[in-house]
Structure 1
Amino acid sequence: MAPNDSAETTGKATGTVVGRRKAARYIVPVAVAGVAAATIGLVPALADSGDPELPKISAQELIEKIAASDEQQLSGTLKISTDLGIPSLGGLAGSFAPGGAGTDGGGSAAPEDKLMELASGTHTLRVAADGPDKQRLSILGNAAEYSLIHNKGEVWAYDSKSGEAYHAAADAEQQKQQKKEHRAPAGVPTTPKEFAEQALAAAGDTTSVTVDGTSRVAGRDAYQLLIKPKQAGSTVASVRVAVDAANGVPLKFTLSANGGGKAVVDAGFTKVDFSRPDASSFSFTPPKGAKVTEADDLKDAAEQQGGEGKAPEGLAELGGLEGLEGLGGSQGLNVIGEGWTSIAQIKTPGGSGLPTGGSQGSGDIPAEAQGFLDALGDKVTGKFGSGTVFKTRLVNALLTDDGTVYVGAVTKDALVQAANGAK
């Protein structure tokens, strides 16, 4: 029978993970992915039947095994499947991203233009890594492929469907910082290891971490690390991480919602090889006739439109896996609570909520449009006044009629309670 360890970690164990950042050298660059989601996930890996018999290990020992993992070379195939309970947005992100399809900057091959495509549905990815300086990620489509290549501070992206390419080069200071953090430019979580590190960063007094059996993932023996919030009010039911028994590399990541149903995020390898990939995997030359867009050109276009040209943050961070405490110093933003039930309180400019309508056009918008807005969320009232809660299976947001936003990986009741307490 597979081992079962009921010991819980403490904040000290968490410090081990956060403090020993060399484990992050495994990370594959994912400028292509932009948002958390902890919301991007991978379909369960093809697993052998039956759980392997492995030596017993404690939760703390398994966490330390992840932190000590120093695998810097790998190649493999992943499947990404995300179910936030919202319609697929496809490539719409590019219409709103700096330099995207909706701007004069153009550039459908820009990594941020692919962000929302990975935020819903199922996707197959192929990855390769050779230390902190060389990584490749490819999204496989129907008779098309999108590839992102990072090689010693230089980033290329190519979309075979559109025939467009994107190019960026980090300056010396940026390369130095990226090497220190063991991340590629604009890196965000896409592999099970990256997701696991985000989840473990939240472990502490608000979190239970145990070893819950074993499994086989992509043909390899693995321990199952189970992470569960102790706090009531979180939309996260649990996070399960399959950890390679031999080298400590997370092979699969599954985030389940309190509402039940299929996983919100399910991340796992279907194939994985820890030998050094061929050097040609990290070389790229734009095909003849490809339209090449430079990152600096997109940044200039974004600044002219009033933006900052900054790449979107990771979904996992937006999903609340790291908590929101670090945002407390931002202008107009306050963080309520801690751990898994952290809620960001944001004062919107102008202090107004959703527009209102009237039957004879007496409101801000037509009555038909008002009905559509009302259908998107749930009307709520409390000591704070009234507002609308917009929900996904992971992240919920309350927009009050006075223009204050409360957002977090928490339930509707928790948002209302936070708004009441803020008054």
Structure 2
Amino acid sequence: MFSPGEAPRVRLPLGSAFRMVWASATLSAIGDGMRFVALPLLAARLSGDPRDIALVFLAEQAPWLLLSLPAGALADRLDRRQLLWRVDAARAVVAALPAVLVVLNAPSIPLLAATGFLLGAGEVLHGGAWAGLVPALVPREERPRANAAIQAGMLVGDTLLGTPVGAVLFTVAAAGPFVVDTASFAVAALLMALVPGDFRPRAASAGTTAGVPAPAGAGNLRREAVEGVRQLWHRPLLRRLCLVAAVSNLVLSGLIAVLVLFARDQLGLDGTGYGLLVASFAVGGLGGAGLAPRLVAGLGAGRVLRLVMPVAAVLAGALGVTSSGVVAGSLIAAYGAAATVWNITAVSVRQSIVPAELLGRVGTAYQTVTLGAGAVGAAASGALAHVSGLRAPFLLGALLLVAAAGAALRIPAEVRPEAEADAEAEAVAME
């Protein structure tokens, strides 16, 4: 799967259950894209201080630092499908709050930050359940294709459709994007509820016996959460992937946090132009989603992961010096392609080397680090832009990505499932 030069094989259908999951994720992403562009636009209407804009973005990321480890443990003991649809139903209620605030003419930065935090908390629970859903539906050799399909659907829904439409809709009625977000979560919850099957992990692992989930309780939940951290730390490949992804997400989140002001003050774009800038990320991401499985098949996952970070560093630096909206859109599209190739390849590797019953815990431990880095990046970017100008986060981000590229060079050129590597290491040790 992850080594180049394999004989061609027949591509298997992904199945009707996977198609329903894909539709749920894509519809939910449309509303997310509208909220993604509308929330900072609403915040920018209330304040021109980069620190306030960054605060709203930071609030959406903060739950990954606070809640992700217990969320992963919950995902490894509950039916993941049920967890997903219930979380989406709850997010539908929370997403309506900004619309109500606009109608009542009562929005404020603290209230927008609180909304972002609650939606971020739902995203944490959602992400923990997602970590084990694709491996339960799709065989290992088809996972790069399945992950690419989900990534492409979410990019189309979130950034290519939701973001520009949300920006235009915001100019017509500020509450509109949040109303659509509410509806998209509700429909996504319904579709996920209709997916057939039992998605409760059954394999034995830490905290389980003979495939029977551990008894519910705070103590067991803490132990299970710690097991996810331990697995992440003691697997060298996972640890390196996590480190590189953390630096990458720190930079990306920092750039996103100031992009609305960068577009307005440095590129001379209005709200619609900002939405189109963000949409260009999705255009590139779609290309990256189509390219990633082919690159993995042709070069091997390790080589692909080595190549992405240097490209991203060049693109971030170029963004920091351009004053053209067209050039910026092109660079962001290329950045989107590079980021998507990395994400699809890295998640496929993770799904291959982590046991199914640990995917929730390891996945959320991984995301705690990467998205926690994103929260730090958002806060630091706002402060840096306030002191040194809006171009500074892009230029510093390029330097950080150069460092990440150096770390990525130590990823093995040919990545194998961890069980095979462990067995080989054990055999060598016994000789």
The two structures share one fold, judged by TM-score above 0.5: no
> RCO greater where, 1 or 2, for CA within 8 Å and sep 6 or more?
2
TM-score by length of 1: 0.26
More strand per residue: 1
Structure with higher Rg: it is: 1
What TM-score, normalized by structure 2, do the two folds share?
0.25
